Chain A
Amino acid sequence: MRLDCTHTPDLMIVHVREPRIDAAGAIDFKDRMRDLTAQDGRRVLLDLSDVMFIDSSGLGAVVAVRKALGPERPLELSGLTPSVEKVFRLTRMDSVFIIHPTAPAGADGLRDAG
């Protein structure tokens, strides 16, 4: 599971460089996200623009990451591809997460979002 991490002063952007977050990779994703976010107090934005497919195991892992971050750092998402957007919408997770319409070109526009 390749996750690329960039930072602004108040935001950590994790770009998932994988085509799938599925049952075969969900635990790895959850563990890697925990390692990446544990030693950093910034807000977290998950860039899913490379993810073409997510299943309910992958969705559960994203929910687990959100819960692990705690109420002070609500997980933000961006770049949902059509199939991923469909899963979030059908499970009503689109109303739970802060979802930005596009992947961030730069982080500036996102600082006040949400």
Chain B
Amino acid sequence: MVFPADPVAVRQALCALFTGWTPGPISSEARDAAQIVLAEALNNIVEHAYALAPGEIEVTVEATQGGVTCQIIDAGVPLPGGALPDGRLPSPAAAEDLSEGGYGWHLIRSLAEDLCYRREGGRNLLSFRISAQQSSE
């Protein structure tokens, strides 16, 4: 699936992928986790990789017995330092000082396995797997 890097196109892509997902080997927990991780990864690409110039995103999603594998390719700028952010939660704060951002990579890191990022031929390749067996956490 290829679509332009903007928030509305991301929403439409996620709805196309996850609405009417037929029950099978993938539990609803794994499906929810896959949608959350994909959404965060795609929003990051829209917001950061394509912050300065528009572009396209290519997504491949495959459901197997073991879970859901996803690959995302974009031609935006590389991740800072060429590495995945560590996804630490914003430090706990008083209610009035709560951070309104900084939760995306934490969600990705919490839910995805085999997270892999590389830069190849001017493109960013991100892949990950959502286990069919979701722990209670």
Residue positions of A touching B, CB distance < 8 A: 20, 22-25, 53, 55-57, 59-61, 63-64, 66-67, 70-71, 74, 82-83, 86-87, 90-92, 96
Contact = CB atoms under 8 A, between A and B. Distances in A.
Given A22-B11, A24-B10, A66-B98, A56 B28 contact: no
B87 to A, nearest CB: 11
Given A55-B104, A90-B110, 7 more contacts: A23-B43, A24-B7, A53-B36, A61-B100, A67-B98, A71-B95, A96-B95
B92 A92 contact: yes
Contacts, number: 79
A96 B94 CA distance: 9
B98 A63 contact: yes
A56 to B, nearest CB: 4
B101 interface: yes
Nearest to B111: A90
A71 B98 CA distance: 12
B79 interface: no
B106 A90 contact: yes
24 contacts: A22-B7, A22-B10, A22-B39, A23-B7, A23-B46, A24-B8, A53-B35, A55-B39, A55-B43, A56-B107, A60-B103, A61-B100, A63-B98, A67-B96, A71-B95, A71-B96, A82-B28, A86-B32, A86-B33, A86-B36, A90-B110, A90-B111, A91-B106, A91-B107
Given A83-B36, A92-B89, A56 B7 contact: no
